[in-house]
Amino acid sequence: MLPVGDRRDVYVVDGRVTYDAPSDATTVAEGWIIPGLVDAHCHVGLDSRGGVPDDVAEKQALTDRDAGALLLRDCGAPVDTHWIDDREDLPRIIRAGKHIARPMRYIRNYAHEIEPDELTAYVVQEARRGDGWVKLVGDWIDRGVGDLAPLWPREALDAAMKAAHAEGARVTAHVFGEAGMADLIGSGIDCIEHGTGLTVDLVDTMAANGVALVPTVKNIEEFPAYAAQAEAKFPEYAATMTGLFERRRETIGAAYEAGVQIYAGTDAGGVLPHGLVGEEVQELTAYGMSTYDALAAGSWRAREWLGLNATLEEGAPADLVVYPSDPLADLGVLSTPARIILRGRVVR
């Protein structure tokens, strides 16, 4: 049983973990047990065109669940998925409300498209709409300059962070490039998504300030395709995306070495399909993370970061996944869970 490494029998009674054997206990699985996996950056209720109907969102959530992801941080969706909270067979979701971006500076049909003087009001609105998180778009292609550029001036970010924190919410931001990174981190942001434009001085600041990183390494593998699509019309942007891709492992590895807390997130729901959390955890090791830290980034450490039970101690909610062999010996086993238990119920 991970993360502690004990070998013992685990029981589930009334939806919670116990180590006191009930008289009528039956065995539902044998193997290596870990707290349910976490996809810390996905989008339930969203596809490449925008919001989706409830039945599609349900399929997305079920796909993540069947991959072992029992806790999702939904990093921006234009539709309300709170109905999922009433379904005991669907993963727990922590939402960030709807993306906040500038007009014509993000994917169509995804975001509130506003100007900087409106940022604080929209951050407060989404802090109240979500589950303790707000999602900004920190940079995107500026067609006037033909390359990635920041969306927000520093004074707008400073006010927005202060307002979000007053609401008890944390703020995260999509940011690929380097130009907007310093202002986002300096303004007091809580997390960076993607982070391919980080520099050595910024990762040290992130580590010192407790700013987390969700690199979405499966998504980063799409950068060459983005560059190729833009080459003819926006060659500077294409060159930037190619450069970010080429130094991706050095960049994320430097953040890991600096002590930045890194969590696994797939960015499923836009371009990528759901159910990739096991592959995301595996891929983190190619960026320099140890097998243990990569698995922790997709399970117990991520759960603690998001405010849920991080271990399977006595009385913890029974959200757990059983594998046929030790994931620390081979993370590939994450793709073949033997049993999935959510809220104390066997769901797969």
168: exposed, middle or buried (Cβ count in 10 Å: 0-12, 13-18, 19+) = exposed
Query: Could you name the CATH architecture of 37-310?
Result: Alpha-Beta Barrel (3.20)
Cβ(223)–Cβ(241) below 8 Å: yes
Q: Give this prediction's pTM.
A: 0.96
What does the pLDDT read at residue 95? 97
Over residues 186-239, the pLDDT tens digits come to: 999 999 999 999 999 999 999 999 999 999 999 999 999 999 999 999 999 999
What does the pLDDT read at residue 1? 67
Cβ neighbours, 10 Å, residue 193: 26
Beta bridge partners, 73, equal 94
Q: What is the mean pLDDT of the chain?
A: 96
What does the pLDDT read at residue 309? 87
What does the pLDDT read at residue 285? 98
Residue 8, classed as helix, strand or coil, is coil
Q: Which residues contact 322 (CB under 8 A, 6 or more apart)?
A: 29, 30, 31, 32, 33, 337, 338, 339, 340, 341
Rounded average pLDDT over 4-13: 87
Cβ(206)–Cβ(260) below 8 Å: yes
Residue 171 has pLDDT above 80, yes or no: yes
Residue count (the chain): 348
In the chain, domain spans: 37-310
